[in-house]
Every structure is written in C-alpha cells, then in structure tokens.
Amino acid sequence: MGKQRAVEIAVGAFMASGLVALFFLAMQVSNLSAAGSGDGYALQARFQNVGSLKVRAPVSMAGVRVGRVESIGFDQDTYEAVVTLRIEPQYDKIPEDTFANIFTAGLLGEQYIGLDPGGSDVYLAEGDALAHTQSALVLEQIIGQFLFKQAGEGGLE
C-alpha cells in the first residue's frame, strides 16, 4: 500500500507541475505576463484603420520589441484611431520622423506596430506624436479591389 501511495503522490505532483507550466506558457503567448509594467514613456500615433490591433500588442523596431500598445481610442473630430504606445525607457533615442506601420505576424494574424526610424537628430519624448503612420491592410478591402479591377477589365466572367 505504501508504494502505491508514493506513486499516486508522484503522479499528482507531476500533473500539478504540468498545469503550472501550461499556465505560464499561456501567459507568455497571450502577452499578459508583461501587462501593467507602466515603465517608459508614452507616444501617440493616429491611424485611419487599426484592423484587429489589440492593447498589449508588441511595438518593435528592427525586429526587437521596444514597447507595447497601451491603449486604443477613437477621435470623433478627425475620425481616426488614436493609439498610445508605451516605449521602454532604454529606447529613448527614437527619431521624431519615425514611421509607424501596422503589420501582421504569424499564421493567426496577430497584429503589431513596427517602427521605421527616420534620420532626424531630434528624438521623441513623453507625450509626443508620431507624424507618419500607415494603417493596417484589411484583407477584405484588398480582395474587393482586386475583384473590382478584374471585373472592370472583363477578366471575370
């Protein structure tokens, strides 16, 4: 009986450690592990269309994550989406003429913001706005434009 009890305890411990590992993996995949850090400085970017960009989406430059999307709002005067980016404090030399683009990564279509640095000697600081942005590409619009063009040329019959 004692040996069977030891095996049951070992199996239970193994299952518990597996559930803990699965929980941490889920937190990493869902970007919740870095939520609420609050460090760094905030920048704003305005887009015509943010697609399915979400809060806590990565902000990257040259493939390196330099921050996260802090909030997404809507400006009722200009009819634009206003995205607040939280940039980590060690990345404090982002030129003021930097371009912000919304890209899609992976098979699941997760969207993120990619920053392309400009050549200015003046750097962005807390509360500044990115003047140059490119909205997300919406697959439905691209397909619609392609089909409309094909129909106009008589390519679809």
| Beta strands, E only, 76-109 | 80-87, 99-105
Of 102, 98, 86, 88, which is closest to residue 123 (Cα–Cα)?
Answer: 98
On whether the CB atoms of residues 84 and 42 are closer than 8 A, the answer is: yes
Q: For 2-59, write each residue's pLDDT tens digit.
A: 889 999 999 999 999 999 999 988 877 765 555 445 688 999 999 999 988 999 999 9
Q: pLDDT-derived band of residue 157, with 50, 70 and 90 as boundaries?
A: low
Q: pLDDT-derived band of residue 142, with 50, 70 and 90 as boundaries?
A: confident
Amino acid at 62: A
Pairing mode, strands 58-61 and 110-116? parallel
pLDDT of residue 86: 95
State how far the Cα of 100 lies from the Cα of 98, in Å rounded to an integer: 7
Q: For 85-123, write each residue's pLDDT tens digit.
A: 999 999 999 999 999 999 988 767 789 999 999 889 999
Phi and psi based region of residue 127 (left: phi greater than 0; alpha: psi -120 to 50; beta: remaining)? left
Q: How many helices (H) and strands (E) does the chain have?
A: 2, 8
pLDDT of residue 14: 93
Q: For 53-83, write each residue's pLDDT tens digit.
A: 999 999 999 999 999 999 999 999 999 999 9
pLDDT of residue 15: 94
For residue 123, the cross-strand partners are 95
On whether the CB atoms of residues 57 and 81 are closer than 8 A, the answer is: no
Give me the residue spans of the domains in the chain. Answer: 1-30, 41-144
Q: Is 57 helix (H, G, I), strand (E, B) or coil?
A: coil
